[in-house]
Amino acid sequence: MDTTHPAEVVALGYRYPTPAARESLTAEVERSLRGVTRRRMDDFLAAVGRLDLGEWEELHTRTLDLSPAFVPYVGHVVWGENYRRGEFMADLKREMMTAGVDLGGELPDHIEPILRYVARAPRPLPDLLDVLRGAVDDMASTLRAADEDNPYRHLIAATLAAVEDLKPVVIGVS
């Protein structure tokens, strides 16, 4: 994988664990990340490294899927089940298709394809950039309240670091 943007690497951490996931994610982190994002991903890898594959799969499911410890859907965090979320997802889906981002079976407002999208899009959707950091902050708070020792707290911290410098494009400003 030829990954250069930190968000693309962090997105890999949200995927369901497979037998080769830990090794391939570790290699990608070592090759592509620096600074705070690298430290947070190293923390995540160390924490899930203490688990066998079955335990990691169970943690992933408990944290992100069935009755999740936090909701990994940006639109849901921001708007709930409001019509505005539907508009947001329709806009995201269109933009993701243009950027060549495969949703991988997820809804467009799931954090994993969103991270891959912001890594690839030359001008990410301004609505997304307006809400992304706050939504991820809310995800972090929710997970901390539900399970303060959950290893995914490190992945969310890496997510925050990876999107720290994303800003909406302002037309007419250079």
Contact, 37 vs 6, CB < 8 A? Answer: yes
Around Cβ 163, how many Cβ atoms within 10 Å? 24
What are the sequence ranges of the domains in the chain? 6-161
Cα gap 8→93, rounded to integer Å = 17
Task: Read off the pLDDT of residues 67-100 as tens digits, 9 standing for 90 and up.
Answer: 778 889 999 999 998 999 999 999 999 999 999 9
**Treating both helix axes as pointing N-terminal to C-terminal, what angle do 21-32 and 35-49 enclose, rounded to 10 degrees?**
160
> Mean pLDDT in each 10-residue stretch from start to end of the chain (174 residues)?
78 96 96 96 97 97 85 94 94 96 95 96 92 95 93 97 71 44
Collapsed DSSP state (helix, strand, coil) of residue 50: coil
pLDDT at 77: 94
Task: Output phi, psi for 31, to 5 deg.
Answer: -75, -35
pLDDT at 4: 67
pLDDT at 91: 96
| Tokens (6 digits) for 130 | 């307006």
pLDDT at 164: 84
Collapsed DSSP state (helix, strand, coil) of residue 110: strand
Mean pLDDT of the chain: 91
Cα gap 35→121, rounded to integer Å = 23
pLDDT at 170: 47
Verdict on whether the full-model pTM lies above 0.75: yes
